[in-house]
Amino acid sequence: MHVTKPSPTARERIVAGAADMISRRGLNATSIRETAKHARAPLGSTYHYFPEGKQQLATEAVRLTGAWAARSLREELEAGPVAGLRAFLDLWRGIVMDSDFRAGCPVLAVSIEEPPADETPLALAAAAGVFEEWEGLLAGSLREHGVEPEQAAQLATLIVAAVEGTVAMCRAKRSTQPLDHTAAQLQALIVGAIRD
């Protein structure tokens, strides 16, 4: 049986492209015109698919990235928290290296740009939700391996925050050394937490 992967629709291409551009240049510097061009879609289509404009596009880009990372995280966590951590780190390492240190995490990018005062920060709320989803997956796996609930929640927050911060540091330094440092420390931390 053969299943041909459906070629992505124009709408999907726009969202994926927006996520990529946001992860490189930030939300404000990502223009709708360029995302459309990057996805080989006309400008008019963007406002057809995303009638609420840029906020909606950013929101969907954040959610897409969140779901993508969550799926990988969920799968690998079945082999335990250490395997999950490694998968999470490798995922971002790939992004950083494949882009020659030009891309990072669009969820972080959206989180640190103050939204215009007049509108509800939909994309920011989506970013908060993605962080919580990632933390929840990690904390759940830690609890399953005997870590106390409060300790598990704290550790999950630390992992997500450290990975996000490390990716940014790798971009600034144009080096993956921060990821190596963080990986070693977080792995040891998890191993120690599980053993208790």
Partner DNA sequence: GCGGCTCTATGACAGTCGTTATAAAACACG
Partner DNA sequence: CGTGTTTTATAACGACTGTCATAGAGCCGC
- Interface with DNA (CB under 7 A): 10, 30-34, 41-45, 47-49, 53-55
Write the interaction track for a second copy spanning residues 35-54; mark x where CB under 8 A is met and - where it is not.
Answer: --------------------
When CB distances are held under 5 to 8 angstroms depending on the partner's kind, the choice from DNA, a second copy, none that residue 32 binds is DNA
Q: Of these, 11, 12, 26, 80, which contacts a second copy (CB under 8 A)?
A: 26
Check residue 142 for interaction with a second copy (CB under 8 A). no
Provide the token pair at 169.
Answer: 């540091």
Q: Interface residues for a second copy in 166-195 (CB under 8 A)? A: 166, 168-169, 171-174, 177-178, 181-182, 184-186, 189, 192
47 contacts 2 by C-beta, under 8 angstroms: no
Q: How many chain residues interact with a second copy (CB under 8 A)?
A: 50
8 A C-beta contact, residue 179 and residue 170: yes
- Residue 1 interacts, among a second copy, DNA, none and using kind-specific CB cut-offs from 5 to 8 Å, with none
71 makes contact, choosing from DNA, a second copy, none, with CB < 5 to 8 Å by partner type, with none
Residues that bind a second copy (CB under 8 A): 24-29, 102-104, 107-114, 124-125, 127-128, 131-132, 153-155, 157-158, 160-166, 168-169, 171-174, 177-178, 181-182, 184-186, 189, 192
